[in-house]
Amino acid sequence: VEVKPNHEAPVTVTPCAGHSLIPWEGNKLISIAGHLKDPSEVANVKAFDLQTNTLSTMKTYGKPLVSRGGQSVIVVGGTLVIFGGQDANRTPLNDLLNYSSL
Q: Which domain holds residue 13?
A: 2-99
Which of 97, 88, 78 minimizes the C-alpha distance to 32?
97
Q: Which helix (H) or strand (E) holds 79?
A: strand 79-83
Q: What is the pLDDT of residue 77?
A: 85
Tens-binned pLDDT, residue by residue, of the chain (102 aa): 444 555 455 556 777 788 899 998 888 998 887 887 776 677 778 889 999 988 888 877 777 788 888 999 998 888 889 999 998 888 999 999 888 754
User: How many separate domains does the chain show?
Assistant: 1
DSSP secondary structure, 5-39, as one string: -TTSPPEE----BS-EEEEETTTEEEEE-BB-SST
Q: What is the pLDDT of residue 3?
A: 46
Q: What is the pLDDT of residue 98?
A: 85
The gap between the terminal CA atoms of the chain, to the nearest Å, is 24
Q: What is the pLDDT of residue 73?
A: 92
Q: What is the pLDDT of residue 8?
A: 55
Q: What is the pLDDT of residue 12?
A: 64
Q: What is the pLDDT of residue 18?
A: 86
